[in-house]
Amino acid sequence: MLKPLTVLVTAGMMLSACGGWRDSRVNPSNWFGPSNPAPVATSADADANPLIPSGGGKGLFARPDAVDNTIPITRVTELKVEPTTTGAIVYAVGIANRQGAFDAELRRVISEENAKAGILAYTFRVDYPEDATPQGAENTRTVRAAASLSRKDLAGIKVIRVEGQQGALESRRR
């Protein structure tokens, strides 16, 4: 009876000393902090008409280029960066302007400014049906998207930012 009790007490004392792991920088769950709101810069390209052809001659039987009908989601409400064994997964949740949004994606924004600052920026884009759909309740307009990042993609990254039309959320590395 004395021997198992001694082993149990010793094991309990050793495991209680491991409590600092949760707050350590070595723990991958602490690599990115919670998301915070951030302002979004608007561009003049939002008013461009996608129906006007950009020109360029093609052959008679050439297929037309695919038209990108996606637009940034109205509002990004949640951003999570969860570490994996091969890198991380960026999860984003947003509220669309109306019901029926589909083909949601996190599209990477590539710029020299972001690369120098260590920012990995995404635009949360969705497509809407051609026919009119009701606006509906907020929970019926909720859209989710995710992007997988490798360790190579995360090298030198300090901030992960997801932008929408009315704002952005970003998560910083601790």
Nearest-10 Cα torsion for 44, 46, 47, 48: 100
Number of other residues whose CB lies within 10 A of the CB of residue 123? 21
Q: E-assigned strands of 9-101?
A: 32-38, 71-72, 75-84, 87-95
Give the range among 46-50, 63-67, 109-113, 127-131 with minimum mean pLDDT: 46-50
- Mean pLDDT (the chain) is 85
Residue 173: strand pairing partners: 32
pLDDT of residue 49: 67
Give the range among 5-19, 65-79, 91-105 with minimum mean pLDDT: 5-19
Give the range among 66-70, 74-78, 164-168 with minimum mean pLDDT: 66-70
Report the share of the chain in percent with pLDDT over 90. 55
Topology of domain 69-174, per CATH?
Immunoglobulin-like (2.60.40)
Q: Domain locations in the chain?
A: 69-174
Residue 160: strand pairing partners: 120, 171
Q: In this model, does residue 94 exceed pLDDT 70?
A: yes
Burial of residue 68 (CB within 10 Å: 0-12, 13-18, 19+) is: exposed
- What letter represents residue 41's amino acid? A
Q: 56 falls in which pLDDT band (50, 70, 90)?
A: low
- What letter represents residue 158's amino acid? K
More confident residue, 150 or 20: 150
pLDDT of residue 161: 96
More confident residue, 94 or 173: 94
Instruction: Please give the radius of gyration of the chain, using alpha carbons only, rounded to the nearest integer.
Output: 23
Give the range among 43-52, 60-69, 133-142 with minimum mean pLDDT: 43-52
Q: How far is CA 61 from CA 19, 49, 58, 64, 66, in A?
A: 68, 25, 8, 9, 15
Dist CA 26 CA 14 (whole Å) = 19
Q: 96 falls in which pLDDT band (50, 70, 90)?
A: very high
pLDDT of residue 64: 78
